[in-house]
Amino acid sequence: MLPLTARANAAGVLQIGGCSVRDLAGAFGTPLYIYDEHTIRQTCRDYLHDFQAQLPGARAHYAGKAWLNPALTALLVEEGFGVDVVSAGELHVALSGGMDPEHIAFHGNGKTRDELQYALEIFVGL
């Protein structure tokens, strides 16, 4: 499945977000994961629209274990998403990207006492 911005340029080279994948591969090597901001934003908007059409006021959370970094977290904040995290490391990344602790779901087993205490202190949504 290609991102929403995927196009072939005049030379037949795939472009994503206006960037040639050939140029990206040359600059960063392969294999290379390419994430398209427009596609991520549009997908967030579609999810929220559909959820809220059925349940007004519903919130959506992104699963941090899929891929999480501060830039993606900031984008999720802008699009009205929360994030679920399973470790202190993921919690740190979500916070460093500007996620409101109340919009973070900290779940899963195997939490240490220190992790749970920290989550409670900053009012993470458990």
pLDDT of residue 33: 94
Strands 104-106 and 82-85: parallel
pLDDT of residue 24 exceeding 70, the answer is yes
Q: Check residue 44 and give its pLDDT.
A: 98
State yes or no: pLDDT of 72 exceeds 80. Answer: yes
Percent of the chain predicted with pLDDT > 90: 94
Report yes or no: 36 and 4 within 8 Å, Cβ to Cβ: yes
Length of the chain in residues, anyone?
Answer: 126
Token pair in block for residue 115 = 């992790």
Report whether pLDDT(126) > 70: no
Q: What is the mean pLDDT of residues 9-33?
A: 97
Residue 81 CA to its chain's centroid (Å): 9
Task: Give me the pLDDT at residue 70, please.
Answer: 98
**What is the distance between the alpha carbons of residues 110 and 45, in angstroms, rounded to a whole number?**
33
How confident is residue 125, by pLDDT bands cut at 50, 70 and 90? confident
CA atoms of 123 and 107, how far apart (whole Å): 14
Segment 44-64 shows an average pLDDT of: 96
Mean pLDDT for 62-87 is: 97
Residue 99, exposed/middle/buried by CB under 10 A (0-12, 13-18, 19+)? buried
pLDDT for 9 equals 96
